[in-house]
Each structure stands twice: as C-alpha cells, then as structure tokens.
C-alpha cells in the first residue's frame, strides 16, 4: 500500500521541528520503515498511530538520535541528523521516553531519587532542580509519593514518573513511545492533560505514538502507519476519510443468527454488546441503509442508525478494501448447553493483606452465557477478585459460587470447570505453539485422541496454521494472546476468566480476539468474566461492574451507566475554536475543570447545553478567540469511567479532611 492522504500543505512560514523525507529503516532484509515523508511543526502534539510492527518505534528512535537509518533524510530542528556527531548535537534539546512501563527508570530508587538521577545526568543546575521537580510532581499528582520505590507504583504512576524524568531538563521536543499502553483511563486522561498544559505554558513539541486508535482525536495532526508506510497524514478528521463507506449500528432479534447471516454478505461486522456494527461499502448513507434493510428483510430490526465511524473502523476498512486483512475466524458449532441460570455469584467478598484491604465486600451476579466486564484503575482490586473466584486465593470473608461449586469447599472442582488467562503468565514462551497446547491438555488430563482433536481446534481458532513449531515467545502479541486463550479453552470450560487479555495487542488483534469471545458467549453459552483497560472493549460487555479502592461503585449495563452519568453530570460539549491551546486555559480559569484538549477541539461537561453555549461564546469572544462550532457528543465508556473514578477520589479526599 502506497497511498498517502494529506489534508493541506505546510505554510511557508510554519516552523518545522522534525522533517523526514524518503526515510527508510531496515533490519537485515526486513524493511521496518519504507520511504516515509513526515513534517512535524513546532508547538504541536503530533501522533504516530498504528498497530505493532507499523514502524513507529523505529522512526521515533531515529528522531531521538539513538538509531541509525539506511536511506532518506532526517532533520531535527536546524540539524541534519546523518551521523553520531550530528545526533549528539540535538540530544540535549530532546526528551525520549521509550516504550514499556518504567523501562527508563530504576525500580529500587524512590520517585524523587529517580528524578534527581536524571536531572544530574542532564546537568540540571541544583538551584533549578527543586523548582522544576516541585512543579512536575504537582502537575502529575505524584507529590505525596516522593519516597515510594518506583517498583511499587501502579502502571499509570510509573508512566507519569517516566514523563517527569523525561521533562526534567526542559526539552524543546519530547518523544513518547506508546506512553498510555497498559495504563488505566484516568491515568491516560491525566497524561493528555499534562501534555496540553506543557504545550500551552512552554510551547514544547511532542511526538507521541499510540496503538489506541481512539486517541487519534488527541493530536493536532497525525500519521496513520501500517507495515512501515504512511497510509494517511494530517488532521484526524481528514484521516477519517481514508476509506469510503457508511457505519451502521443495529439492534435485531436473534443477534447470533443475524451476525452469521451478515457475515456472508458484509466483510466488516462487529458485535458490541446487544448491537451489531456493520461497515457498508457505500458512501451514500441512505443507499447503505436501504441495502442493509433489504438484506435483513427476514429479521426484526429494533433499532438502526448511521453513525460516524471511528478511526479503527476506517483503518480496518482500508486494509480490507486493499486485501490486507486475513479471512474471518471460524464460526463455532452451537453448543447443546443452552441452559439459563447463574454462572458466578459473589456475596460480600473481601480480601485483606495485613492492614491493607484489597477487596472490600464486593457483590455481583453473572448469568450463564454473559460477557461480564470488571473495570477499575490500577490497584482497584480486579485481579485479586479474580484470584478469589478462581480458587487461587482464599477470601478473608464473604462467599461465592462458580459453576455451581462453592468457593469455600470446592476450589479444586472450580478449577476443573473454568479456564483462566492471567495478566502476568499464560504461556511457556520457550515452548513451541504445539508444545504449549499439549502441556495444558496434559494438565487437564485429556486422553491422546481428545488432545489431538482439541489441539487442531485451537490452531484453527487462533489462526495459527503454519506457526505450530514456532516458539510462543517469538509470536506477535495478537497471536500469542489467542494461543493463550486457546490453551485456557482446551478442556471446554463452562466459565472463562480473562485478566486484561488484550493489553499491548494491536487493534486488528483485539478485534479478532473479541470475535472469538462473542462466539464463545453467544454460540457456545460460555460465561466470560473479563478485566480490561480498553474502554472501547467495555462496550462489548453485556454487564459491567466498576471497582474503586476495592469496592464496586457501579454495577449496570454500559448504556444504563451512560444514562446515569448524563442524568447526574449533564452531557459533553465539543467546542471547535481557532486557538484551542489558549481557549483551554480560558475555560479552565472559568472553572470548567473537566475541559480537555482533543486535537484542535475541546471537550467539557455541560449540565445545561444552551446556557453553557452562551457562556462559552462570551468567555472566548472576550479573549479574542473565534468559536467555529459547538455540538453535543455522545458519552463513551471512558467518559463514564473517568467521571466515576474522579468523583470517588473527590469523596475520599473530603472524608479524609
């Protein structure tokens, strides 16, 4: 694929921080980055968006001066980076944060000791260090954790500490390689807020990569990358026009049967909770709707609407239209067990470690065949809850049943009836694909004939044909996670526990993973309890429980959670202005504390839309800022999550005072 889409040419007066022309990077015979052209303007947040293996990290390392390249030119500020000597010239003006939680820090050093180390490494004057450190610790909400060892921080806190260490020498350009991967939505929202503040107060330039397609709206401009090439470059709205088509969402009776029928006609379909999302290769929305209604004439459609596609939808459509997406996963044979009833029940479960309460009297019920999501920030107690339900840890108090067996008296029976895919360990990376499958089949006592049958099924299920002899550790993350899922399913469990199963998996891999989960739930009546940090995945769940500080603070369907927050806090307004950085500061001073920068737009909460519109126009007009438009936006699960957690944090602080 060689097509590039550009929204506009750079103006002659635009100051350029980074300019790449015909940039190529190879590792032996493998082409990691294939002749790309990118210009990054000073004072903007520029994004590199794409799945694993797209070439994002290779390009960023070259910009940071830590990786050579084979062809093309690369200019950083006023220096042509073409040798080690030229790379050294610009390094003092750059801050680079590599990919991976806390990989650029020292685990046994405290928060403050890590910052001091990087400050001295960068020759920050002692009289400046205290001022900068206090400011950055306050900005990242790490002030009260100065003495905590880095290894004891949550994932989000590690990333924020990494950002502080990257910023301590006040660089002009910061390069952040997937800084939000593996952290919870509140930490991600904090991260973007910090970048917006730095952009406004210091005029820094930020080059940020992400595999989260929904973060595209955070950038002023971005490049969408795939297999080393730039598919599109420009403002997010322009990138969204990369593929032609219409996204339609429906609710229909007999969802599983409708999904099977749709799969024979439409190549890009996705089950999301009780809805089905269909990409129709027709740009005219009325024609696309008519085509879909005609096809579903034998089905009762409860609801149908055309909606704006997300960047992930467009990305998948573009790859599919150019033949770069592999065939759909196999459809499962229906199970003979269609019985109703309760699969999991927790009643006031608690787990204490000495004086620390990790889980505090949680209660919920999961019916058979349901996809149940357990959400929460790092340290909320999700993993501990799963370990109690799976019999790995005994509860301190409370009771529960799993697959009809009591947690208190039948832990071994529970283990035989469930599949468990843990957050930290699910495979033996130094064994091959087939060896992993055979090992797990042996653990569950399957006979040789059944072992061969289930092994073949898992290979087909995970799309691992041709990879049987490869080491699990050498597989791309998406394939590795599907293999881990297959190993958890080798003994045909009734219930599946998945602890952040798609963390670090690219968008295509996550979609295929959820195709499997939907088929397991709807066709084979397998009950699934899943924890996730991807709020777009929360939409796939039939029911959600949101945990905070060990407690369940919300328990409902995704739609009902959104309705509850709307009734309590109002809706979201999206404000388009000609100077978003300055406008954000004006709105924050006017106590719109939830205001957040989304590229060239601002999102904020509004209890009264009409009153807010008039006030915002007046505030920004008095500041000389032109309002280009205002519109209401539907709440996402990330909005709900962040709102609920921040409300709980506020209540905790008030109680402590």
User: How high is the pLDDT of residue 504?
Assistant: 65
Number of Cβ within 10 Å of residue 158's Cβ equals 25
* pLDDT score, position 2: 41
Segment among 42-51, 339-348, 473-482 with least mean pLDDT: 473-482
Delimit the domains of the chain by residue range: 16-236, 246-308, 342-555, 561-656
Q: Which CATH number fits domain 561-656: 3.10.450, 3.90.228, 1.10.20, 3.30.70?
A: 3.30.70
Query: Per-residue confidence at 638, pLDDT binned at 50, 70, 90?
Result: confident
Question: Residue 338: pLDDT band by 50, 70, 90 thresholds?
Answer: low
Query: H or E element: which one contains 188?
Result: helix 185-202
User: 331-340, 439-448, 585-594, 618-627: lowest mean pLDDT where?
Assistant: 331-340
The domain 342-555 is placed in CATH, from the list 3.40.50.1970, 3.40.50.300, 3.30.70.580, 3.40.50.720, at 3.40.50.300
CB 97 within 8 A of CB 176: yes
Torsion of CA 65, 66, 67, 73, to 10 degrees: 0
* Best-predicted range by mean pLDDT (98-107, 167-176, 373-382, 579-588): 167-176
Are 161 and 102 spatial neighbours (Cβ–Cβ below 8 Å)? yes
pLDDT at 102: 67
Instruction: Return the pLDDT at 291.
Output: 94
Name the least confident of 33-47, 64-78, 601-615: 601-615
User: For residue 101, what pLDDT band results from cuts at 50, 70 and 90?
Assistant: low
Question: 16-236 and 342-555: same fold?
Answer: yes
Residue pLDDT, tens place only, 587-616: 988 888 778 888 888 998 888 777 888 899
Handedness of CA 144, 146, 151, 155 (dihedral sign): positive
Give 416's DSSP letter.
H
Average pLDDT over residues 640-656: 85
* Mean pLDDT of all residues in 353-379: 91
Who's near 287: CB < 8 A, 6+ residues apart?
A: none
The tens digit of pLDDT for each residue in 475-518 reads: 877 788 889 988 998 998 999 999 888 876 777 778 888 888 88
Question: Residue 335: pLDDT above 50?
Answer: yes
Res 366: pLDDT: 95
Q: What's the average model confidence in pLDDT over 195-219?
A: 87
Question: pLDDT tens, 520-534?
Answer: 888 888 999 998 877
Average pLDDT, the chain: 87
For 354, the token pair is 């000495």
> Does the pLDDT at position 265 exceed 60?
yes
Residues 575, 568: Cα–Cα separation, whole Å: 21
Q: How many CA atoms lie within 13 A of 103 on its CB side?
A: 11
Which pLDDT band, with edges at 50, 70 and 90, does 325 fall under? low
pLDDT on residue 339: 62
Q: Tell me the C-alpha distance between 455 and 440, whole Å.
A: 10
pLDDT value at position 359? 94
pLDDT on residue 303 = 93
User: What is the pLDDT, as a whole number, of residue 407?
Assistant: 82
- The class of domain 16-236 in CATH terms is alpha beta
Pairing of strands 418-421, 571-577: unpaired
Share of the chain above pLDDT 90, in %: 45
Q: How far apart are CA 142 and CA 263, in angstroms?
A: 49
CATH topology assigned to domain 246-308: Alpha-Beta Plaits (3.30.70)
CA–CA dist 604, 597 (Å, integer): 9
- pLDDT at site 296: 93
Looking at residue 190, its pLDDT comes to: 84
Listed in sequence order, the residues at least 6 apart from 14 whose beta carbon sits closer than 8 Å to its beta carbon are 41
pLDDT at 318: 84
Select the more confidently predicted residue: 547 or 536.
Answer: 547
User: pLDDT grade, residue 324 (50/70/90)?
Assistant: low
pLDDT of residue 657: 66
């Amino acid at each position: 694929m060689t097509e590039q889409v550009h929204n506009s040419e750079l103006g002659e007066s635009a100051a350029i921080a980074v300019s790449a022309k015909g940039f190529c990077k190879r590792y032996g015979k493998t082409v990691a980055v294939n002749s790309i052209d990118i210009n990054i303007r000073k004072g903007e947040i520029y994004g590199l968006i794409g799945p694993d293996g797209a070439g994002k990290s290779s390009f960023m390392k070259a910009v940071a001066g830590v990786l050579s390249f084979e062809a093309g030119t690369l200019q950083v500020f006023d220096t042509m980076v073409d040798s080690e000597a030229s790379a050294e010239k610009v390094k003092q003006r750059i801050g680079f944060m590599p990919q991976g939680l806390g990989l650029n820090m020292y685990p046994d050093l405290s928060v403050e000791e890590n910052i001091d180390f990087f400050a001295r490494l960068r020759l920050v004057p002692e009289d400046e260090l205290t001022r900068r450190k206090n400011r950055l610790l306050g900005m990242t909400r790490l002030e009260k954790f100065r003495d905590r060892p880095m290894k004891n921080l949550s994932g989000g806190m590690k990333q924020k500490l990494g950002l502080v260490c990257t910023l301590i020498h006040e660089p002009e350009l910061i390069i952040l390689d997937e800084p939000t991967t593996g952290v919870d939505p509140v930490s991600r929202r904090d991260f973007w807020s910090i970048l917006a503040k730095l952009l406004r107060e210091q005029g820094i330039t930020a080059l940020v990569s992400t595999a989260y397609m929904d973060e595209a709206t955070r950038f002023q401009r971005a490049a969408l990358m795939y297999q080393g090439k730039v598919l599109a470059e420009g403002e997010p709205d322009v990138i969204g026009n990369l593929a032609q088509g219409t996204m339609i969402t429906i609710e229909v009776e007999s969802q599983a049967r409708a999904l099977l029928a749709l799969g024979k006609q439409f190549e890009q379909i996705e089950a999301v909770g009780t809805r089905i999302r269909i990409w129709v290769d027709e740009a005219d929305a009325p024609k696309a709707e008519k085509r879909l209604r005609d096809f579903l004439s034998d089905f009762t459609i409860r609801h149908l609407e055309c909606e704006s596609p997300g960047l992930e939808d467009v990305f998948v459509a573009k790859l599919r239209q150019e033949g770069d997406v592999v065939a759909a996963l196999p459809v499962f044979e229906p199970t003979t067990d269609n019985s109703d009833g309760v699969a999991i029940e927790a009643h006031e479960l608690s787990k204490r470690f000495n004086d620390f309460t990790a889980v505090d009297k949680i209660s919920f019920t999961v019916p058979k065949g349901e996809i149940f999501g357990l959400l929460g920030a790092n340290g909320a107690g999700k993993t501990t809850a799963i370990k109690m339900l799976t019999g790995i840890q005994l509860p301190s108090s409370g009771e529960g049943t799993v697959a009809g067996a009591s947690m208190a008296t039948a832990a071994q029976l529970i283990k035989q009836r469930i599949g468990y895919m843990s957050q930290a360990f699910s495979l033996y990376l130094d064994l091959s694909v087939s060896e992993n499958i055979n090992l797990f089949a042996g653990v569950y006592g399957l006979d040789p004939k059944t072992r061969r049958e289930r092994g073949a099924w898992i290979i087909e299920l995970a799309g691992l044909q041709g990879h049987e002899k490869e080491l699990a550790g050498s597989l791309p993350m998406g394939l590795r996670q599907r293999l881990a899922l297959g190993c958890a399913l080798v003994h045909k469990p009734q219930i599946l526990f998945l602890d952040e199963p798609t963390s670090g998996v690219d968008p295509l891999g996550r979609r295929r993973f959820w195709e499997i989960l939907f088929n397991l739930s709807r066709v084979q009546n397998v009950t699934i309890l899943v924890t996730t940090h991807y709020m777009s995945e929360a939409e796939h769940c039939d029911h959600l429980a949101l945990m905070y500080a060990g407690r369940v603070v919300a328990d409902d369907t995704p739609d009902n959670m959104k309705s509850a927050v709307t009734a309590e806090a109002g809706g979201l307004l999206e404000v388009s202005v000609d100077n978003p950085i300055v406008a954000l500061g004006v709105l924050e001073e006017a106590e719109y504390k939830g205001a957040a920068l989304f590229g060239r737009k601002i999102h904020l909460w509004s209890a009264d839309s009409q009153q807010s519109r008039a006030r915002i126009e007046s505030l920004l007009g008095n500041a000389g800022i032109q309002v280009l438009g205002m519109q209401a936006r539907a709440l996402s699960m990330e909005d709900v999550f962040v709102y609920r957690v921040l409300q709980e944090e506020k209540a905790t602080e008030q109680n402590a005072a």
